[in-house]
Chains A and B, each alone.
Chain A
């Protein structure tokens, strides 16, 4: 027993066994599907079912209790256990690192479910993920016995299952390391640009349907610096209220005026645009220099898709620019995996700045900006990431190029198609199954992100621990990352999962759902597990399932 996280235990399994654990083989060609939005049809607005009112009341009461008890504990804790609060009190004339207010939720909510976060792992985050066994010890420490357990992985952003230690992509990445070394070490403009970078950028531009692209070693960093390049304090950014932190940080850094709009609400967006163009900048009423609409393709906490056709119509009508973050949708959406444009059959030329990351579908890391060549030219000269920060390292370049080639079918033909159709099937299968079991889930039918609503904060640790005991790894999210009343489990589906895996997940969820009283759905009758499993595979392929 030690409080140090151990090293990965040796793995003596055969290569075949490992491959199967990282990417389960397809059980039947039945379990494939092509995801595509029916052209011309409006985007169905996901109707978010509401829980019974007493759940809402109980949720608010829970938080009230939590806050009151938290304050009481703080009050007495500071008197009787000052040592525990040493970090919150000024010491020898130095202010505390952070004040108690900033830190209240962390201390009083997160510490209670600390064991559900940051479970240390080792090896490939593929179909299964290996989590180290740990036991809670005082002071937020853990003890480890050196062993790990493999859990079915519904937590990693491994949509297409490219997180693998065997296969064409890994071989290619290894070859790239052999030839190019461990890192290019320098920023792009200082000996950090390799021929491989240029190759990779062309591959991405072709893939997303743009003239040129620029790659960055981190997705967060891509967004964090890109707005400074486009907008200043005389420009307006209309930002979806659920945009990712990296986008919000990037906008803040640029100093532009930002107006958030209600998530995915096109009517409100249009109203804001019309008004803002008419009013111009605050006080001076000079016209805005430019207006950028910033949205995501697939919202990672809601599983909602952007209403791309309408947003493109709006931006054309009002001469705004569109910034589209495809971090979660690129690779995972559309019949060819080319993101939401592919899914909605929207011409990528209509989108001014296409951003995406390699962290999710491609099993790599980093981000890209794809746009017209004249825009990318400006980026090469005036983007922080061109002159500061390391360039994308070689192994990652190898993984990106090879995974994209697999998706396109130029490498290992057929493999890419299978991955794309499996993620589409798996997402719909799991979503429909959960719905029919009586859970409230958010998001679009085809979304590989499935948030399952818990509402009550106490259910977060409960479900996370129960599923973990049944060897299913899930992510729970609550306030402040979500609105206060909508704590949730977020499931990320992967091509690597087999239908049997999903059936196991449904089975366990059904059981835990009954135990924890979580089947809140009211708008349709609840079905029994056996009945769900019987017809789920066919039913999930029908458009507009319930």
Chain B
């Protein structure tokens, strides 16, 4: 036992004294321990694991006792002290009195207009018929995410029908229980090859991917540094994962660097190492901005973060052959630790996917909820997506560009410059996206919005400032609703008078945990739409927006608009 007492420390004398005392009694108890059966093993364990440092051992012991105490008592005690004692009759009365709120908020008169959505009659391709407006005949569809117009392609349809006539429609089982078919594996291989990753995994719906992947890797205590312009799927995923969140200004690499720099000394002290991610989107669905990937990669390598990118909108639209932001910037995919994407946009199928290194994907096969607890993608959808990848990559011109993608890029560039020129001296609208993505964003100009007394932003900043989501959902915002309604009038009129169907941003306002920007009009460029049709739609959009907005001269006019809604 002598070893225990001869610890050499550099503590001040009082501490020395204390320690010596402690050591003596500690030794005594350790000696006792030796006598009980199995005590020797424990003794050796204590000795070796704590390197014969008695103070630390005592501390650990106290902690251990505290933990035991906590676990034994906490549950009951906490609840008890918080509970009020009622007699049986009082409980009956309270039950009698209680009046719950309705199960969901009924749709009020101010929101009712949002229920009038257009339905496509037949195939939703680049040119569609609208059920509620049969008098229009065929209209140009500038609202679809099928940017390459593949959903009606005969080869795609043949692929779907081939699988359906061999394997039926549904897979009738989760992937881990006989739900994995050859076509699923083929698609995983195709995606792996297409995106130059190590492995890929498929999901049954694109919206659930983020919410399932993020909580599989980020747990309490882990760190996510997140762009403050991310979509709601990522916001919710982060909240559910319970990790620590730091926000940087939307797409602002300087701010990101500043935050990483500030965090660095704190993190370097933490042992063991916690997982840390930077979470962002390739092409932001809310703002339309393109991620500054080269700078991002430099930063994440410098500070040793893993990079998570939601490429739902960028894969299939950016890069020479549609391989997303990495190809766009000429950066290898291996720099991105986790990439998630959708099969339901340019691949004209359904479902979502995630690609990255093999152990990461393997972990999801057992720990990612939406993969484990849901049926696999219908086999035909897998085949269709594989076919889409084939179609996109097979016709490549001399410069290495996919012909389909090239054509889309030309149409996007054309529309973007046309829109910019057209709206350069508009009083009301401006183009607010950067021209990289196939969805071009337009929003009301700040000066015009100010003249109507519309606020700079909507929603709340609780999550942004505290890192914890607000306890309450966003309240219905009359102004936000009215601003959306103005945009909808433009959409309706462009459609009615010019037979072009554009889209407006649609989010679930109540559920947004981040500040909400002013709503936008979305001009979805579609490869199946002719340049002349794009031009006509842009002209129409300009005329209609002027007409609709010129009626709004003061906040008073908004009040009138509100009354109009109440009356409708």
Per-residue CB contact flags for chain B residues 145-189 toward chain A (1 = under 8 Å, else 0) read 110001111001101110011111111110111111111011001
Known: A157-B173, A277-B98, A279-B84. A170 touches B374 (CB 8 A): no
A178 touches B161 (CB 8 A): yes
The CA-CA distance from A389 to B506 in the complex, in Å, is 12
Closest B residue to A357 by beta carbon equals B375
- Taking CB atoms, residues of chain B closer than 8 Å to A192 are 124, 144
Say yes or no for A120: interface residue by CB 8 A criterion.
Answer: yes
- Taking CB atoms, residues of chain A closer than 8 Å to B458 are none
Closest A residue to B143 by beta carbon equals A191
B172 touches A157 (CB 8 A): yes
B99 touches A319 (CB 8 A): yes
Say yes or no for A299: interface residue by CB 8 A criterion.
Answer: no
Say yes or no for B304: interface residue by CB 8 A criterion.
Answer: yes
Say yes or no for B236: interface residue by CB 8 A criterion.
Answer: yes
A163 touches B172 (CB 8 A): yes
- Taking CB atoms, residues of chain A closer than 8 Å to B177 are 117-118, 155, 475
B471 touches A278 (CB 8 A): no
The CA-CA distance from A179 to B186 in the complex, in Å, is 27
Known: A6-B182, A125-B171, A193-B118. A388 touches B166 (CB 8 A): no
B151 touches A182 (CB 8 A): yes
Q: Which of B94, B171, B275, B360 is within 8 Å of A95, CB to CB?
A: B275
B181 touches A191 (CB 8 A): no
A118 touches B95 (CB 8 A): no
Within 8 A of A (CB), among B60-111: 82-84, 86, 90-91, 94-95, 98-107, 111
Closest A residue to B439 by beta carbon equals A190
A291 touches B82 (CB 8 A): no
- Taking CB atoms, residues of chain A closer than 8 Å to B378 are 364-365, 393, 395-396
Closest B residue to A323 by beta carbon equals B103
Give the residue among B159, B166, B219 with the most A Cβ atoms within 10 A.
B166
A378 touches B105 (CB 8 A): yes
- Taking CB atoms, residues of chain B closer than 8 Å to A122 are 167, 181-183
Q: How far is the CB of B406 from chain A (nearest CB, A)?
A: 21
A283 touches B82 (CB 8 A): yes
Q: How far is the CB of B371 from chain A (nearest CB, A)?
A: 9
Per-residue CB contact flags for chain B residues 345-369 toward chain A (1 = under 8 Å, else 0) read 1001111000000011001011101
Say yes or no for B204: interface residue by CB 8 A criterion.
Answer: yes
- Taking CB atoms, residues of chain B closer than 8 Å to A475 are 177-178
Known: A178-B157, A380-B117. A156 touches B178 (CB 8 A): yes
B164 touches A185 (CB 8 A): no
Say yes or no for A133: interface residue by CB 8 A criterion.
Answer: no
Closest B residue to A185 by beta carbon equals B146
- Taking CB atoms, residues of chain B closer than 8 Å to A383 are 508
Say yes or no for A409: interface residue by CB 8 A criterion.
Answer: no
- Taking CB atoms, residues of chain B closer than 8 Å to A379 are 104
Closest B residue to A494 by beta carbon equals B172
The CA-CA distance from A180 to B348 in the complex, in Å, is 12
Q: How far is the CB of B441 from chain A (nearest CB, A)?
A: 14
- Taking CB atoms, residues of chain A closer than 8 Å to B367 are 98, 102, 106
The CA-CA distance from A19 to B370 in the complex, in Å, is 32
B123 touches A180 (CB 8 A): yes
Known: A94-B304, A181-B152, A475-B178. A191 touches B166 (CB 8 A): no
B91 touches A319 (CB 8 A): no
Q: How far is the CB of B310 from chain A (nearest CB, A)?
A: 12
Known: A362-B170, A388-B207, A389-B208. A173 touches B164 (CB 8 A): yes
A190 touches B144 (CB 8 A): yes
Known: A183-B344, A186-B145, A191-B141. A230 touches B103 (CB 8 A): yes
Say yes or no for B121: interface residue by CB 8 A criterion.
Answer: yes
B176 touches A291 (CB 8 A): no
Say yes or no for A46: interface residue by CB 8 A criterion.
Answer: no
Say yes or no for B413: interface residue by CB 8 A criterion.
Answer: no
Say yes or no for B38: interface residue by CB 8 A criterion.
Answer: no
B103 touches A184 (CB 8 A): no
The CA-CA distance from A162 to B169 in the complex, in Å, is 9
Which of A36-44, A219-227, A342-350, A502-510 lies at the binding interface? A219-227
Q: Which of B90, B100, B119, B125 is within 8 Å of A321, CB to CB?
A: B100
Say yes or no for A194: interface residue by CB 8 A criterion.
Answer: yes
Give the residue among A155, A194, A233, A283 with the most B Cβ atoms within 10 A.
A194
* Chain B residues touching A, range: 35 or more
B124 touches A155 (CB 8 A): no
The CA-CA distance from A282 to B81 in the complex, in Å, is 11
Within 8 A of A (CB), among B457-515: 469, 471-473, 501, 503, 506-508, 510-511
Say yes or no for A121: interface residue by CB 8 A criterion.
Answer: yes
- Taking CB atoms, residues of chain A closer than 8 Å to B133 are none
Known: A191-B141, A289-B100. A177 touches B359 (CB 8 A): no
Per-residue CB contact flags for chain A residues 190-218 toward chain B (1 = under 8 Å, else 0) read 11111101100000000000000000111
Q: Which of B173, B211, B472, B506 is within 8 Å of A189, CB to CB?
A: B506
Q: Which of A125, A291, A377 is within 8 Å of B178, CB to CB?
A: A125
A278 touches B91 (CB 8 A): yes
A182 touches B178 (CB 8 A): no
The CA-CA distance from A236 to B275 in the complex, in Å, is 33
Say yes or no for B384: interface residue by CB 8 A criterion.
Answer: yes
- Taking CB atoms, residues of chain A closer than 8 Å to B189 are 4
Say yes or no for A538: interface residue by CB 8 A criterion.
Answer: no
Which of A248-256, A453-461, A526-534 lies at the binding interface? A248-256
Q: How far is the CB of B266 from chain A (nearest CB, A)?
A: 15
A124 touches B145 (CB 8 A): no
Say yes or no for B240: interface residue by CB 8 A criterion.
Answer: yes
Say yes or no for B274: interface residue by CB 8 A criterion.
Answer: yes
Say yes or no for B44: interface residue by CB 8 A criterion.
Answer: no
A90 touches B169 (CB 8 A): no
The CA-CA distance from A381 to B370 in the complex, in Å, is 24
The CA-CA distance from A181 to B370 in the complex, in Å, is 26
Say yes or no for B36: interface residue by CB 8 A criterion.
Answer: no
- Taking CB atoms, residues of chain B closer than 8 Å to A352 are 103
Interface contacts beyond A177-B161, A255-B469: sample of 12 additional A-B pairs, CB < 8 Å, sorted by A: A6-B182, A95-B276, A102-B219, A110-B366, A155-B178, A163-B172, A180-B124, A191-B118, A290-B102, A321-B103, A380-B115, A387-B506
7 A-B pairs closest in CB distance: A389-B207, A390-B344, A220-B374, A218-B205, A185-B146, A191-B143, A181-B151
Residues of B within 8 A of A (CB): 82-84, 86, 90-91, 94-95, 98-107, 111, 114-115, 117-125, 128, 131, 141, 143-146, 150-153, 156-157, 159-161, 164-173, 175-183, 185-186, 189, 204-208, 211, 217, 219, 222, 231-233, 236, 239-240, 272-276, 304, 306, 342, 344-345, 348-351, 359-360, 363, 365-367, 369-370, 372-375, 377-378, 380-381, 384, 469, 471-473, 501, 503, 506-508, 510-511, 522, 524
Question: 18 A–B contact pairs at CB < 8 A?
Answer: A106-B366, A118-B176, A120-B180, A123-B181, A173-B169, A177-B164, A182-B157, A182-B160, A185-B151, A190-B503, A193-B120, A194-B120, A287-B98, A321-B100, A378-B105, A381-B107, A389-B207, A390-B344
